[in-house]
Structure 1
Amino acid sequence: MSIKSFLAIPFAKLARKQVYKWANNPHETQEKVFQYLVSEGTATVFGKDHDFVSINNYEDFKKRVKVNDYEGLRPYIDRVVTGEENVLWKGKPIYFAKTSGTTSGAKYIPITKESMPTHIKSARNALLFYIAEKKDASFVNGKMIFLQGSPILETKNGIKLGRLSGIVAHYVPSYLLKNRLPSWETNCIEDWDVKVGKIVDETLPEDMTVISGIPSWVQMYFEKLIEKTGKKVSEIFPNFNFFIYGGVNFEPYKNKFEALIGKKIDYIELYPASEGFIAYQDSQTEKGMLLQLDNGIFYEFIPATEFFDENPTRISLKDIQLGVNYVIILNTTAGLWGYNIGDTVEFTSLSPYRIKVTGRIKHFISAFGEHVIGKEVEKALNEAIVGTNITVSEFTVAPQVSPSEGLPYHEWFIEFENEPNNLDDLVVKIDASMQQQNIYYQDLIKGKVLRPLIIRKVKKGGFHEYMKSIGKFGGQNKIPQLSDNRKIADVLQNFLVE
């Protein structure tokens, strides 16, 4: 046992003890965070506009700050982007995390000197909890790979700009740098296919013990390893025993992963977002992820069934119930106030507070980390058929994660009233619009993680037949225009044009 792995176990136990200290005093912890946020926000433009100085408690806060999404806060964020100080939070952000916008291009999520350390500390603690539980830190003697975006950052009005994963790459602790792969040069490669090939070459001779990344990307890496060696991943890396992931539903990948690896392994789920690091898995035996209550985030929740009501119930942590699907709302040290990130969660435990991500408040696809939403697919289809005689009766979109051959793709099921003369041209137009609207989707296509979308023609009346087959024909029942699973898509295979 190396000195590093020997010392890691007591350090991990100490870190776990410190975390559970606040986790076991959740309401007091959240109240302290709330008071700090309001106090610091009082001198900002947003705080003055919303009379923070007169806020004494959560009920006061709710009266003054409405629930926002990016577009709701955009007038303030735009001022931050131009370089103005003290708008949403004191001073200026130190980074902008660039993410995909819903209506008007890229979003610029501020990351401040107060919020940045919480991203790093939470990721570190997730590993420490695993060490403390297993009483084994031997993996720190091997190599660790974190498949992520390029760490090359741009500058916008004096503030560094990049993907969150690329920003975080600049904060790898010095004691892990010698263990970390891929190399900086390889990590900067933009073409994902080329990048994975280089990663395979760099990692094959190494003792890989930890692998982390979005499952679709890691799957490609595993497949290339096997293609090159003819061996299962566990034969290539016998000391690889756990995989770290976040951002997508892992269930569709699990069986495939274990087949590629050749043995069962442990998994650590993370819930990082550009807006803040929300939760991580603190136990291999308990369900859910530990909600980060001491991370500079004050949480609010709205029952998903009420979210679109005129006056939905809006609660803090103390009023949470098990078995309820909530929209999660954030208030952060990056100056995001009443911020709806679009995710829905359900609590798996109230002591301590653990959550699982149940989806999005609106239908979406993120099987590969692309975060495609309904508005994007609607716009893409409408742009593609405008000025033509093509008319569409109904459509829906689903991911095809495990095709029988070739790369995964988005599968569009379209029932045409008037069909296109050239289906391939329509595919090209829709896919081009999707790439223009959604930078994550574009990255996956250009990186050859996904191939361009495929259209399946549903026979006339096919969607009606489908709704009848599931007992939801007529009334207010509508087919989702996209979904993150194949529940609808697999049944629609029975209603295609032969």
Structure 2
Amino acid sequence: MLNSVLTWAVQRRLSNIEHFRQHPHEVQREVLRNLQHTAKNTEWGRQYGYADKVAGPEFAQRVPISSYEDLYPMLERVLRGERDVLWPGQVQWFAKSSGTTNDRSKYIPVTREALHECNYRAGRDMTALATLHYPEVKILDGKTLSLGGTHMSNPLRPHDSHSRVGDVSAVIMQNLPAWAEHVRTPPLELALLDEWEEKIERIARHVLQADVRVLAGVPTWMIVLLRRVLELAGTDNIMDVWPHLGLFLHGAVAFGPYRKLFHQLIPSAHMHYQEVYNASEGYLALQDQPDSEDLLLLLNHGVYYEFLPADQWDAPEPRTVLLEQVEIGKSYALIISTNAGLWRYKIGDTVRFTSLAPYRIRITGRTKHFLNAFGEEVVIENAEAAVAAACHATNTTVRDFTAAPIYFAGAADGSRGGHQWLIEFSTPPQDTDHFTAVLDATLRQLNSDYDAKRHRDIALVPPVLTVAAPGQFERWLAHRGKLGGQHKVPRLSNSREVLEEILSAI
């Protein structure tokens, strides 16, 4: 009876989803009005006249675009416990994220409104769509195996037991409503362990006898758990352990390079995959069509969106466009104002629209993570598609990868160079030259700038593939204290710092 009630309650969200699909601009205008109204008496709200509840164009003129570094002086005060700075009241929870290749962590406020009106509302949307599209899985009749991070004391309020920081996955799990906790496994005492190897071992043993129907987490770390479960169960087919398993909810990294490996671990024609875009700053989009990898932008979840065209990324006074002004195929940096007190915040992710009715996107990369040392403008979307194509062509699976430029001092004009790809394989290719050739050819097909630079090797020579030792990327993450959870390896960089650090990890 409880599961029937849960199913009914969750599926009520389908009408809400359809509402913002049909009325996106009105919904977004209402979100902006509500955000300004709620924050009008905060320090930030008084400074920028939120009591006036201005519309999008004037809001963009009044309020500056802010990076994390720009907002940090006020965010630090919020971390220290000051009230009514960026959002009403005192914030107790913070999502800890590296966000870039910098060692310094970012601390993103997670307010009560952000939890309930953004993350949990989106979770209900995701569950509603999953039950609509995959009714045979009966996901609420079994357990969802959630693999996330951990949380710890707030470093700026170490004596305040109520204030915590951690992976956004851990913050969400710790505060889950009772209905969601009812269908989740493992218990919190295991899910929130901070020692990653112990966590994997204890979770794997705990879930062996569970009725797991849904997996949820980052693909790279879910692979590690699944392999340990298979070892403990003495089988090479996870369906022998969880015969009702039918759905994997994944995010944080592109799924393409991992798809074949998951098909090997879960050899079932009835297994489904659904992508979600749940950043530390908010739950922003999810896959709403079984036959498409496009992500539906979530418009009534306490997040107001603006979009920064590529030609404005480095402009001294960047000009955004509103949702109704975006165009299909163009690349935009996301600018968000949220019910966590982030105002015109440059999240760092870039997207392109694939549909305007409703608004659907694909994540193309990050404003700081791309390869453009020689004018080639390779973005993460290109890189992941090329790796996936090379895997398919060579019957190969990849565990992790990163790429960086190579500078050849012997070039006549000093500009000729190339790319080094450091790749850790789960199943290595028999012919690494063929893998590299497909990678190169796919990049040339996808990216005209790269293709032009590769023409006759004038500006770019063919890519160089370096095969990483098993566990190389995990050792680097462990050395940086970022093993497990939401942490991931930067795919692309215009410097060689990350690649050289991974190569030297022992």
2:40 matched residue in structure 1: 42
Q: Deviation string for 1:98-129 (max 9, x for gaps)? A: 22265572221111122121211212220111
* Partner in structure 2 of residue 128 of structure 1: 128
Alignment map for 1:307-326 (pairs within 5 Å) = 307-326=313-332
Distance change >3 Å, CA 42–CA 397, structure 1 → 2: farther
Instruction: Compute the TM-score of the two structures, normalised by the length of structure 1.
Output: 0.73
Residues 89 and 185 (structure 1 numbering): CA distance in 2 closer, same or farther, change over 3 Å? closer
2:14 corresponds to which of 16, 23, 31: 16
**Alignment match of 1:333 (pick from 328, 339, 347):** 339
Of 233, 250, 256, the match for 1:251: 256
Hey, what's the Cα distance between the residues in 2 that align with 1:332 and 1:440? 33
User: Given residue 121 of structure 1, which amino acid in structure 2 is its aligned partner?
Assistant: R
* 1:196 corresponding residue in structure 2: 200
Is the alpha carbon distance of 1:26 and 1:369 closer, same or farther for their aligned partners in structure 2, counting shifts above 3 Å?
farther
Structure 1 residues 223-274: Cα deviation after superposition (integer angstroms, max 9, x where no partner): 2223331321123222111101111111110111101111242111111112
Give the residue type in structure 2 aligned to 1:139: I
Q: What displacement does 1:314 show? A: 0.8
Code of the aligned partner of 1:213: G
Provide the residue aligned with 1:111 in structure 2.
110
Q: Answer yes or no: is the 8 Å Cα contact 2:174–2:188 preserved in 1.
A: no
For the structure 1 residues 67 and 339, does the alpha-carbon distance in structure 2 shift closer, same or farther, using more than 3 Å as the test? same
**What pairs with 1:170-209 in structure 2 (closer than 5 Å)?**
170-209=174-213
**Amino acid of the structure 2 residue aligned with 1:402:** F
* Residue of 212, 217, 233 corresponding to 1:213: 217
Q: CA deviation at 1:31?
A: 0.6
Matched, 1:224 2:224: no
Picking from 419, 423, 428, the partner of 1:400 is: 423
Shift of 1:348: 1.9
Higher mean C-alpha displacement, 88-97 vs 43-52: 43-52
- Structure 1 residues 370 and 311: alpha-carbon distance in aligned structure 2, compared to 1, 3 A threshold: farther
Structure-2 change in CA distance of 1:212 and 1:14 (3 Å): same
Which ranges in structure 1 are unaligned for 5 or more consecutive residues? 378-392, 406-426, 454-477, 486-498
Return the offset for 1:189: 2.6
1:53-92 paired onto structure 2 within 5 Å:
53=51, 56-92=54-90
Aligned-residue offset at 1:154: 4.7
Task: Indicate the residue corresponding to 1:149 in structure 2.
Answer: 149
Residues of 2 paired with 1:441 and 1:261: CA distance? 31
Q: Could you say which residue in structure 2 is the equivalent of 1:359?
A: 365
Q: Identity of paired residues, percent?
A: 29
Aligned residues of 2:79 and 2:91 also touching (Cα < 8 A):
no
Deviations 1:108-160 (A, max 9, x none): 11111221212112122201111023344623222221011125555743433
- How far does the alpha carbon of each residue in 1:170-192 deviate from its partner, in whole angstroms, 9 at most, with x for none? 23342454542223332233222
Runs of 5+ consecutive residues of structure 2 not aligned to the other structure: 371-379, 385-397, 406-415, 429-468, 500-506
CA distance in 2, matches of 1:53, 1:353: 30
Matched, 1:349 2:348: no
- Distance in structure 1 (CA, Å) of the matches to 2:197 and 2:111: 33
Distance 1:221 1:115 in 2: 29
Superposed displacement of residue 399, structure 1: 5.2
Question: What's the offset of the Cα at 1:292?
Answer: 1.2
Could you tell me which residue of structure 2 aligns to residue 277 of structure 1?
Answer: 283
What is the one-letter code of the residue matched to 1:61? F
**Two-structure CA RMSD over aligned residues (Å):** 3.8
SS of the residue 2:353 aligns to:
strand
Is the Cα–Cα contact under 8 Å of residues 343 and 361 in structure 1 kept in the other structure? yes
Give, in whole Å, the separation in 1 of the partners of 2:51 and 2:403: 38
8 Å contact from structure 1 (residues 143, 210) kept in 2: yes
Which letter does structure 1 place at the counterpart of 2:239? S
Q: Is the alpha carbon distance of 1:28 and 1:204 closer, same or farther for their aligned partners in structure 2, counting shifts above 3 Å?
A: same
State the match for 1:263 in structure 2: 268
Matched AA of 2:295: M
**1:371 positional shift:** 12
**Which residue is 2:413 aligned to?**
none
Cα distance in 2 between the residues matched to 1:204 and 1:431: 28
Q: Please name the residue that 1:168 is paired with.
A: 172
Are residues 480 and 29 of structure 1, via their aligned partners in 2, closer, same or farther at CA, if it must alter by over 3 Å?
A: same
Question: d(CA) in 2 for partners of 1:86 and 1:479?
Answer: 38
If the length of structure 2 is used for normalisation, what is the TM-score? 0.72
Q: How many aligned residue pairs are there? A: 414
Q: Are 2:349 and 2:365, in contact at CA under 8 Å, matched by a contact in 1? A: yes
Matched, 1:138 2:138: yes
1:360 shift after superposition:
0.8
Cα drift, residue 200 of structure 1: 1.6
CA gap of 1:372–1:214, structure 2 versus 1, over 3 A, is same
What SS class does the counterpart of residue 206 from structure 1 fall into?
coil
Match among 227, 234, 241 for residue 239 of structure 2: 234
Contact kept, 8 Å, 1:247 with 1:369, in 2: the verdict is no
Once the two structures are TM-superposed, the CA of residue 440 in structure 1 deviates from its matched residue by 9.9
Q: What letter corresponds to residue 208 of structure 1 in structure 2?
A: V
SS in 2 for 1:115: helix
Could you say what secondary structure the match of 2:425 adopts? coil
Deviation at 1:433, TM superposition (A): 13
Retained in 1: the 8 A contact 2:33–2:53? no
Cα contact 1:369–1:440 (8 A) shared by 2: no
Is residue 79–residue 154 contact of structure 2 (8 Å, CA) maintained in 1?
A: no
Per-residue CA distance 1:323-360 (angstroms, 9 max, x = gap): 11111110011111110110011112211111111111
1:261 partner letter: I
**What's 2:495 paired with?**
481
Q: Which stretch shifts more, 288-297 or 42-51?
A: 42-51
- Please say if residues 372 and 441 of structure 1, whose CA atoms lie closer than 8 Å, have aligned partners that are also in contact: no
Q: Distance in 2 between matches of 1:41 and 1:197?
A: 45
Secondary structure at the counterpart of residue 124 of structure 2: helix
